[in-house]
């Protein structure tokens, strides 16, 4: 698999604090990568650097083998995001939220039709389309956020703490939806999470961000053997015979 997104020596300081200290990360086309790390280690800053919302002090981000920065608009058009807390627009109803980007290039009726299709994909019935965000439960809002993230058939989807604030049953349901959608669409997924059950359900590969660098990266199937991840898994690392 060739790299779809690559960060090379990504470095970012805030004042005297070096948050990212040369992050090298490669995400293959169609891969589902989970980025884990303790609170405050720079996961969000890494995401923002990839998106171009925070300029790095050094290093670069490549997309399809060439610098992303000059092609940021094209990249953003192929990218979807599920925000932490769903981040729906309060003044728009559900289908208008889902179809927000589609509305820029198609009439309302066509956009609504796609929105209803995407709502069905995340397990929400057509009646949901006319509800306002204030009428939704946390789990429903997350599903609407997910429908919005996939509305425009993105090549890359970012999931920012997708299960935060959900009870375990709803969290596992969101994980299953994410895994299903990623597999079915072939999208490349980058998930930031603290939830190791989510990592197991969603990820092909996991990368640990610590000390401003990728301290460990490997297949999810191998994470139980990595001493670097012991603290996250909440138990001793399996002893090799
Ligand atoms: N705009 C900014 N100005 C100053 N410091 C910042 C800014 N953005 C982030 N930081 C600092 O960078 C560090 C990393 O923050 P970041 O939000 O990326 O952590 P995180 O790993 O995503 O944490 P969490 O898991 O709690 O969301 C923190 O110390 C934070 O205070």
| Tens-digit pLDDT profile for residues 55-103 | 999 999 999 999 999 999 999 999 999 988 778 999 999 999 999 999 9
- Looking at the DSSP bridge assignments, the partners of residue 66 are 63
Strand order through the sheet with 156-160: 79-82, 156-160, 188-192, 32-36, 205-210, 213-219
Q: What is the pLDDT of residue 240?
A: 47
| Tens-digit pLDDT profile for residues 204-233 | 999 999 999 999 999 999 998 888 888 777
37 lines ligand 1 (CB under 6 A): yes
- Looking at the DSSP bridge assignments, the partners of residue 191 are 34, 159
Q: Whose CA is nearest to atom 10 of ligand 1?
A: 14
Which conformational region is residue 15 in: left (phi greater than 0), alpha (psi within -120 to 50 degrees), or beta?
left
Q: For the residues 19-23, what does the mean pLDDT come to?
A: 96
Instruction: Place 18 in a pLDDT band, splitting at 50, 70 and 90.
Output: very high
Q: Whose CA is nearest to atom 2 of ligand 1?
A: 14
Q: What is the pLDDT of residue 235?
A: 59
Q: What is the pTM of this model?
A: 0.91
Token digits for 150? 């996939």
Q: What is the pLDDT of residue 2?
A: 73
DSSP alpha helix (H) spans, 55-107: 72-77, 94-98
55 lines ligand 1 (CB under 6 A): no
Q: What is the pLDDT of residue 53?
A: 87
Instruction: Place 120 in a pLDDT band, splitting at 50, 70 and 90.
Output: very high
Token digits for 161? 């703490």
What ligand 1 atom has the least distance to the C-alpha of 47?
18
Instruction: Place 11 in a pLDDT band, splitting at 50, 70 and 90.
Output: very high
Task: Give the relative orientation of helices 108-121 and 138-150 as an angle to the nearest 10 degrees.
Answer: 120
The percentage of residues in the chain with a pLDDT greater than 90, rounded to a whole number, is 80
């Amino acid at each position: 698999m060739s790299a779809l997104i690559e960060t090379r020596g990504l470095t970012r300081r805030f004042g005297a604090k070096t948050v990212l200290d040369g992050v090298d990360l490669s995400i293959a086309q169609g891969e589902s990568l989970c980025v884990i790390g303790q609170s405050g280690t720079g996961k969000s800053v890494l995401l923002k650097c990839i998106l171009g919302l925070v300029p790095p002090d050094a290093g670069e981000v490549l997309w399809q083998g060439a610098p992303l920065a000059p092609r940021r608009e094209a990249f953003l058009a192929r990218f979807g995001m599920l925000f932490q807390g769903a981040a729906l627009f309060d003044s728009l109803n559900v289908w208008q939220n889902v179809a927000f980007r589609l509305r820029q290039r198609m009439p309302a009726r066509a956009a609504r039709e796609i929105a209803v299709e995407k709502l069905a994909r995340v397990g929400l019935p057509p009646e949901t389309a006319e509800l306002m965000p204030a009428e939704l439960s946390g789990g429903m809002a997350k599903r609407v956020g997910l429908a919005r993230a996939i509305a425009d058939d993105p090549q890359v989807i970012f999931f920012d703490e997708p299960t935060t604030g959900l009870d375990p049953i709803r969290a596992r349901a969101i994980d299953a939806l994410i895994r299903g959608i990623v597999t079915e669409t072939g999208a490349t997924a980058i998930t930031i999470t603290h939830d190791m059950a989510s990592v197991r359900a969603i990820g092909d590969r996991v990368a640990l961000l610590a000390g401003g660098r990728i301290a460990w990266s490997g297949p999810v199937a191998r994470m139980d053997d990595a001493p670097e991840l012991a603290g996250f898994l909440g138990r001793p690392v399996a002893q090799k015979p």
